[in-house]
Amino acid sequence: MARKSRKAVNQVILPAAPSEKIYRAGLYARISVETERKREADTIGNQIQLLKDFASENLDIDVADIYVDDDISGTDFVRPEFSRMMNDIRDGKIDCVIVKDLSRLGRNLIETGEYIEMVFPVLGVRFIAITDRFDSKTMQVDIGVQIKNMTNEMYAKDASQKICSVMRSIQEQGKFAGSRAPYGYVRDPRDKHMLLADDETAPIVREMFEMVADGATLHYVATTLNEQGVASPGRRLYETGISKKDKYKNSIWYMQTVRRILQDRIYLGWMVSGKYASEFYITGQKGSKAVPPEEWIITKGTHEPIVTEELFNRVQEYFAKNKEEHALATKYDHKSKRESMFRGHLFCGECGKAMHIRRKVNHGRESYWYCCMIHEHYNSQYCSKKAVKSEQLESMVHTLIQNQMALYLDAKSIIAELNKKNTSQVRYKVYKEQINNLQRQIDRYMELKAALYEDYAEGTITAEDYVAMGQEYAQKADELRIFLSEIKKESRKYDPEYMGGEHWAKLVTDFKDQKTLDRKMVEAFVNKLTLYNDGRAEIEFNFRDELEEVLLWAAMRKKEVNKYAG
């Protein structure tokens, strides 16, 4: 049976009475994958137009803002525009959310149900799903909505399994299943799953193989291509309009890019697929995991080779010869043989690339410096960042960490001292009584809800009353739980044994007496360290929110005490 269009929705539009509340609405639209745009009914533009038309026909709704998550999955709620919308709700900017249908809000049963049943009602938000004819202003969340949510989640998993099956079939046939042709190839205009050698870039690939086979290093190849003005794969994507991301606009050839091309068997005319696999339809978790090489799908002779097997093997011998040296470089710098204390955390503020440690010898004296690899390998034309002496950087970071630990200890000491005062103890006692009272209320509502089934089984109440009263008790219990959570959070601030910033408490215990910086200390405290040419250094600490909360609370408590003391 053909699927009927759901564009035409019968709506009963009632004029708003003069005293009727006017809702400030946020229109939320979402589409999950690029290919869905081909289905006219599911374009972002059509979603937004439907939402605008609905809002314009209902006089009690004013559109405050529009939120669009384009190319974002609905299987979780980690979405930039959805997060912005929730912040606007909390700030009081909007009090109504309108979506095309429930699946636009989300395809995860539990989380979507929580937003519809708990979060939106507690925040005083009206929720409307147009084509599902759901409006929280006039109806309660019923089993139909729950089933609809479950169907959406099952659809997402089923669609994932079908897509994986189709992709696997394409791969097993030796066809190309990627979204973009590899550098050196173009898609066959007659069959998008077939590759043709690109007249412009295939000769460049062949030249790269020949240079390394003749003894050139990866650094020499990358530098030569940059000096010749040959567009890198990223820059070519930008220049041809395939990608509009600014990061590709001025991208250059890096040794990693050259290595990736020279090790790819696709240039032999082979199709190597199935390196990664999705398990969303099994686990419900997004992402993919690496597949062992022995399980890869390798099909030979699927398209025109750019290099011969003999040339390809000569280049692989180069990599085999240098394998041990490059393996050491992942932990130690292969030139200095010294472990980088900041590996994975230190970045150049001028070009954004990682900085590594290097050994330098001047007049027989050895010293170590942290250098930007782009500046070192490709000179100041591409990055002007100068090297920083290791002793200076390590000393500076150690001092900053010590300062942060001192701030934490001082703040915690202030709070602990103030919490010993009688006024704080009285407030803490009041909070504890509130907590006990709220917990009793929650338990009572849950007991009432549990007793409903017995009343229904005995015929004392109808099925409709059973569902309605059950929803009412559950909602009240959920509202109280949210309030209870906030009260518990506040009460901990007045606890005589205040334990705010649990992660920082452990870090300080482990490292407060450490006199010198080491790799373990960096891993524990530092998320990211960025160095600039003007001498600035930006350091992003782990668990920064925790530390700021403790510092802020200490400042507020001091201000509070001084206010009443004066």
Show me where the domains of the chain are located: 23-159, 185-321, 331-390, 416-552
Contacts 24+ apart (CB under 8 A), 443-448: 445/473, 445/474, 445/476, 445/477, 445/480, 446/473, 446/477, 448/473
Please write the tens of the pLDDT for every residue from 97-128: 999 888 788 766 566 776 787 778 878 899 99
221 pLDDT band (50/70/90 cuts)?
Answer: very high
Please write the tens of the pLDDT for every residue from 458-489: 888 887 787 778 778 877 877 788 888 888 88
Three-state SS at 341: coil
Strands 23-31 and 96-99, bridge-based pairing: parallel
CATH of the structural domain 185-321, one choice from 3.40.1800.10, 3.40.190.10, 3.90.1750.20, 3.30.450.40? 3.90.1750.20
Residue 341: CB atoms within 10 A of its CB come to: 21
How many whole angstroms separate alpha carbon 42 and alpha carbon 44? 7
Where is mean pLDDT largest: 28-37, 217-226, 374-383, 385-394?
Answer: 217-226
Listed in sequence order, the residues at least 6 apart from 554 whose beta carbon sits closer than 8 Å to its beta carbon are: 410, 411, 412, 414, 415
Tell me which of 105-119, 152-166, 195-209 is least confident. 152-166
Short-list 292, 299, 291, CA closest to 176 = 299
Q: Looking at residue 149, what is its pLDDT?
A: 52
The one-letter amino acid at 241: G
Beta bridge partners, 186, equal 196
More confident residue, 141 or 302: 302
More confident residue, 329 or 383: 383
Tell me which of 192-196, 334-338, 400-404, 520-524 is least confident. 334-338
Average pLDDT value for residue range 191-212: 92
Q: Looking at residue 19, what is its pLDDT?
A: 53
Tell me which of 57-71, 279-293, 377-391, 459-473 is least confident. 279-293
Residues in the chain: 566
Cβ–Cβ < 8 Å for 89, 125: yes
Three-state SS at 301: coil
- Decide if pLDDT at 146 tops 60: no
Name the CATH architecture for the domain at 23-159: 3-Layer(aba) Sandwich (3.40)
Listed in sequence order, the residues at least 6 apart from 200 whose beta carbon sits closer than 8 Å to its beta carbon are: none
- Decide if pLDDT at 523 tops 90: yes
Cβ–Cβ < 8 Å for 522, 344: no
How many whole angstroms separate alpha carbon 502 and alpha carbon 28? 37
Across the chain, mean pLDDT equals 79
How many whole angstroms separate alpha carbon 521 and alpha carbon 396? 13
How many whole angstroms separate alpha carbon 509 and alpha carbon 230? 54
User: Tokens 């046939």 appear where?
Assistant: 173
Q: Looking at residue 288, what is its pLDDT?
A: 63
In 71-213, beta strands by DSSP E? 96-99, 126-129, 134-135, 185-188, 191-197
- Decide if pLDDT at 7 tops 60: no
Q: Looking at residue 415, what is its pLDDT?
A: 85
Task: Tell me the torsion sign for CA atoms 221, 223, 228, 231.
Answer: positive
Task: Tell me the torsion sign for CA atoms 368, 372, 378, 384.
Answer: negative
Cβ–Cβ < 8 Å for 102, 112: yes
Q: What is the DSSP letter of 499?
A: -
Measured between alpha carbons, how far is residue 197 from residues 202, 204, 233 in Å? 6, 11, 15
Helix (H) or strand (E) holding 303, with range, is none
In 162-257, beta strands by DSSP E? 185-188, 191-197
Please write the tens of the pLDDT for every residue from 243-258: 777 777 778 888 889 9
The one-letter amino acid at 28: Y
Structure tokens at 514: 């450490």
Buried-state track 266-294, b at ≥16 Cβ within 10 A, e below 16: bbbbbbbbeeeebebbeeeeeeeeeeeee
**Phi, psi at residue 5, to the nearest 5°?**
-70, 145
How many whole angstroms separate alpha carbon 244 and alpha carbon 234? 10
Q: Looking at residue 333, what is its pLDDT?
A: 45
More confident residue, 264 or 143: 264
Helix (H) and strand (E) counts in the chain: 20, 17
Chain centre to alpha carbon of residue 37: 23
Where is mean pLDDT largest: 124-128, 283-287, 499-503?
Answer: 124-128
Short-list 319, 341, 337, CA closest to 328 = 337
Cβ–Cβ < 8 Å for 368, 360: yes
1 pLDDT band (50/70/90 cuts)?
Answer: very low
The one-letter amino acid at 376: E
Please write the tens of the pLDDT for every residue from 344-401: 899 988 888 888 888 777 777 888 888 887 766 666 566 766 788 888 999 999 999 9
Q: How many Cα neighbours within 13 Å face the side chain of 250?
A: 4
Q: Looking at residue 319, what is its pLDDT?
A: 86
Structure tokens at 369: 């410096």
Cβ–Cβ < 8 Å for 379, 372: no
Tell me which of 47-51, 134-138, 296-300, 326-330 is least confident. 326-330
How many whole angstroms separate alpha carbon 543 and alpha carbon 530? 18
User: Tokens 């190309």 appear where?
Assistant: 176
User: Tokens 């407060």 appear where?
Assistant: 512
**Phi, psi at residue 356, to the nearest 5°?**
-125, 165
pTM of the model: 0.47
Three-state SS at 514: coil
286 pLDDT band (50/70/90 cuts)?
Answer: low
529 pLDDT band (50/70/90 cuts)?
Answer: very high
